[in-house]
Amino acid sequence: MSSKARILVVDDERSMQEFLEILFRREGYDVTTAGDVDGALVALGSDDFDVVISDIQMPGRSGIELLRAMREVSPETLVVMITAFATTETAIAAMREGAYDYVTKPFKLDEIRLVVEKALEKKTLASENRRLRTELRTRSRSRALIGNSTAIQRVYELVAQVAETKTNVLISGESGTGKELVARAIHEASERAERPFVAVNCAAIPETLLESELFGHMKGAFTGAVNAKEGLFEVADGGTLFLDEVGEIPPSLQVKLLRVIQEKTIRRVGGTGDRRVDVRILSATNRRLEEEVAAGRFREDLYYRLNVITVALPPLRERLEDVPLLVHHFLEKYSRELGKTIEGASPEAMERLLAYSYPGNVRELENVVERAVALSRGGSIERDALPPTLLRVPETAGPARLPTSGANLDELVNDYERGLLLEALQRAGGVKKRAAQLLGVSFRSFRYRLEKLGLDAPGPEEAE
């Protein structure tokens, strides 16, 4: 193990504390000492240790009691027991309670040095195995995280890192980028993977019902509460609760959510007693919560509780190189579901798929592929199976060519202008004033061009 390994020595004899502290500091370890079980538990509660070396027989609480208490406060720390009473009974009792090994007084320096070295090697191996399992689960289970682009690779790495922690995570990104899928990836790569993952869309539940949905209610708490019901925090106990669109939670409920995070207890609607819950909170939003905090619509203290670590998802238009991989993934999925054998996309269809900006992100691409699979008759997706919005995207810029058979100039110009207007609207999310700015024309001119080409469809209107 590295020289940064931390060792806690627990012994009621000051001379033994000093002896072991000097011995292991010379070996390059970071050593802390305690004179009794209470002192050891205080140290364990404020710092992480790799190995504890503890005497079994001490005034007050024994080393065996320390072992039992460590199951709750520091279950991954290995314990080496020291005893002057080398009986089979004490050794078996210590090992039964979870001790890694024991040595008997008087011990040789090489003996205790070797035992601690082996314990640290085991600790290192266990940590490495957890890291590898996390990486494998992240890659294999999270089918949502598909791509080789630099942007999505950074997300892979961050998911693997935050999965190993217990802190709350805020996942930000535009609608359709896969925030819930990233939340599932974090859960499945964490130590809570075998416990529940519970997702709730805070924007989809009426404000009057959201508190009951999250915290549960007692029978008779309100009209219609004919039975007691556990809330989603209780359902997720031991696992992960994913709060999607967390920015939609009303201020009155934000206070109660903050209390749950701080106290780790919930109280059902209509109830008088608190219930302890062990839940990791992952939340997501497509809003800028900093702006919501500045505007007074979201509590600052809650924001910092939820946003311990941020995972920012890039929009699909910023990683278009991942489109072919995503198309292949969705082709396999919907070919199975629809009973078809679609093996790929024609060059013309793929060109259209790569030329689009995807305001709806990965979710929109998935819908496009599902539609194309449903309409395709052959073994690959053809251009005519794509929706009109993709076909109107302007072709790759290049010198205009006059067909050998001639052409109608007005029609060619109108088609090209129509494609530019539609793409600008797509990029601007339908906001015409913003689309006009993208094209470098006035709002009045932009609206006139839409009307001229019969494209003035209903959309967000702005004053000039």
- Across 198-202, 387-391, 404-408, 442-446, the highest mean pLDDT is recorded for 198-202
Class of domain 317-391: mainly alpha
**Of the ranges 68-82, 136-150, 315-329, 344-358, which one carries the lowest mean pLDDT score?**
136-150
SS3 label, residue 172: strand
Q: Is residue 178 left, alpha or beta, with left meaning phi > 0 and alpha meaning psi from -120 to 50?
A: left
Residue 34 confidence (pLDDT) above 90: yes
The reported pLDDT for the residue numbered 397 is: 43
Q: Would 6-130 and 145-314 be classified into the same CATH topology?
A: yes
Each residue's pLDDT tens digit, 36-55: 999 998 888 767 788 999 99
The reported pLDDT for the residue numbered 2 is: 42
By CB neighbour count within 10 A (0-12 exposed, 13-18 middle, 19+ buried), where does 398 fall? Answer: exposed
Higher pLDDT, 152 or 428: 152
**Beta strands in 123-203, from DSSP E residues, in sequence order:** 169-172, 197-201
CATH 1.10.10.60 fits 409-452, yes or no: yes
- Report the length, in residues, of the chain: 464
Each residue's pLDDT tens digit, 98-140: 889 888 888 888 899 999 999 988 887 776 666 555 555 544 4
The reported pLDDT for the residue numbered 305 is: 93
Cβ atoms of residues 144 and 185 within 8 Å: yes
In the chain, what percentage of residues exceed pLDDT 70? 88
Helix-helix angle 323-338:347-355, to 10 degrees: 120
Question: Distances from the Cα of 342 to the Cαs of 7, 326, 333, 349, in angstroms?
Answer: 59, 14, 10, 13
First to last CA, the chain: 68
Q: Which residue, among 169, 250, 170, 141, has the nearest Cα to 202 in the 3D structure?
A: 250
**Of the ranges 359-363, 382-386, 417-421, which one carries the lowest mean pLDDT score?**
417-421
Higher pLDDT, 438 or 82: 82
Class of domain 6-130: alpha beta
C-alpha 246/C-alpha 303 separation (Å) is: 10
Each residue's pLDDT tens digit, 354-374: 888 888 999 999 999 999 999
Each residue's pLDDT tens digit, 269-305: 887 778 888 999 999 998 888 899 999 999 999 999 9
Output the 3-class SS for 220-237. Answer: CCCCCCCCCEECHHHHCC
Each residue's pLDDT tens digit, 138-170: 444 444 578 888 888 889 889 988 988 889 999
The reported pLDDT for the residue numbered 396 is: 44
Structure confidence at residue 87 as a pLDDT band (50, 70, 90)? low
Residue 401 confidence (pLDDT) above 60: no
Cβ atoms of residues 138 and 184 within 8 Å: no
Neighbours of 224 (CB within 10 A): 9
Question: Distances from the Cα of 216 to the Cαs of 203, 249, 281, in angstroms?
Answer: 18, 16, 17
Query: How is residue 410 written in tokens?
Result: 């007005």
Q: Which residue, among 431, 427, 419, 424, has the nearest Cα to 459 in the 3D structure?
A: 431
Residue 408 confidence (pLDDT) above 70: yes
C-alpha 355/C-alpha 348 separation (Å) is: 11
Q: What is the pTM of this model?
A: 0.56
Question: Distances from the Cα of 430 to the Cαs of 317, 436, 462, in angstroms?
Answer: 16, 11, 11
Each residue's pLDDT tens digit, 206-231: 888 898 899 988 877 777 776 778 88
What mean pLDDT is reported for the chain?
A: 83
Class of domain 145-314: alpha beta
SS3 label, residue 56: coil
Domains of the chain, by residue range, sit at 6-130, 145-314, 317-391, 409-452
The reported pLDDT for the residue numbered 1 is: 43
